[in-house]
Structure 1
Amino acid sequence: MEAALQRRVWRRADGRCEYCHLPQAGSQAAFEIDHIVARHHHGRTVPGNLALSCAVCNGYKGPNLTGRDPRSGKITPLFHPRRHKWSYHFRYEGGTRIGRTVIGRTTVGVLRINHP
């Protein structure tokens, strides 16, 4: 991946994981650039398909595009940082991220966002 594209992704994310909002500063794990739609699902290496991700979120997300909503059990899309607004789907309660919507709940569960 070109260095200019990597810098663009980092700047856009302001040094935070675009899934859990953990800041890179103070994190023990290196951050990675995630293909939101994985390459093996024909996702392209373009700004609109890239997100800055902490290693934990990226590891649990993998190539997944969907998961099961823990409340209804229905297959639901995961949070897409380029298409969805974080504050609409998530909120903080103390240090815990809470899914406000079916997409938020599903993403918190699949990515294990609140796992210690």
Structure 2
Amino acid sequence: MSSTYISADLRRLVTARAGNTCEYCRIHEDDTFFGCHIDHVISEKHGGLTTEGNLAVACSPCNLYKGSDVGSVTTAGVFTRFFHPRTDDWHEHFVLVGAVLEARTAIGEVTARILQFNTPERTLERQALLEVGRYSVDVKR
């Protein structure tokens, strides 16, 4: 299945709205080797539209780990949707503790696990960025 074309104007709007930052793990595009992508929060495969309200900026790892998934099963065995950057408050679902992005909710749990926020490599990268003042979860919108 091929994706619908996203116009340059729509890409600019989505990127500017996110402050050139991944709306899932909050890494800035300038600090990622592979840059960022425009993500369909709800994939087209699941009926998501190519509209401003269903598009988000995602770094390459978050986008690749998320794929076309819309949620996962929690450790309690309950299917739970992923964090939605357009409708959810990031700080309600996640908290930065040192260089680790910890989940506060079931939505945060499944999102952090499937998008692999806290692999050793990503945590080390976040720690290095924190040390030089290049990482913040408080993205200006």
TM-score by length of 1: 0.95
Residue 114 of structure 1: CA displacement?
A: 1.1
Percent identity over the alignment is 37
User: Match for residue 42 of structure 1?
Assistant: 47
Q: Which runs of 5+ in 1 are unaligned?
A: none
User: Match for residue 12 of structure 2?
Assistant: 7
| Cα distance in 2, alignment partners of residues 26 and 34 from structure 1 | 18
The partner residue of 1:98 within 95, 102, 116 is 102
| Cα distance in 1, alignment partners of residues 98 and 55 from structure 2 | 29
Larger Rg: 2
The partner residue of 2:78 within 74, 77, 83 is 74
State the secondary structure of the residue aligned to 2:29. coil
C-alpha RMSD over aligned residues: 0.8
User: Match for residue 85 of structure 1?
Assistant: 89
Q: Which runs of 5+ in 2 are unaligned?
A: 1-5, 122-141
1:41-65 Cα distance to aligned partner (Å, 9 max, x none): 1211100000000010010111111
Are residue 21 (structure 1) and residue 26 (structure 2) matched? Answer: yes
* Larger helix share, 1 or 2: 2
| Cα distance in 2, alignment partners of residues 89 and 2 from structure 1 | 31
The partner residue of 2:59 within 40, 54, 58 is 54
| Cα distance in 2, alignment partners of residues 74 and 44 from structure 1 | 26
Residue 73 of structure 1: CA displacement?
A: 2.4
| Cα distance in 2, alignment partners of residues 13 and 37 from structure 1 | 17
TM-score by length of 2: 0.79
Runs of 4+ with deviation above 4 angstroms: none
Task: Count residues with an aligned counterpart.
Answer: 115
Are residue 112 (structure 1) and residue 116 (structure 2) matched? Answer: yes
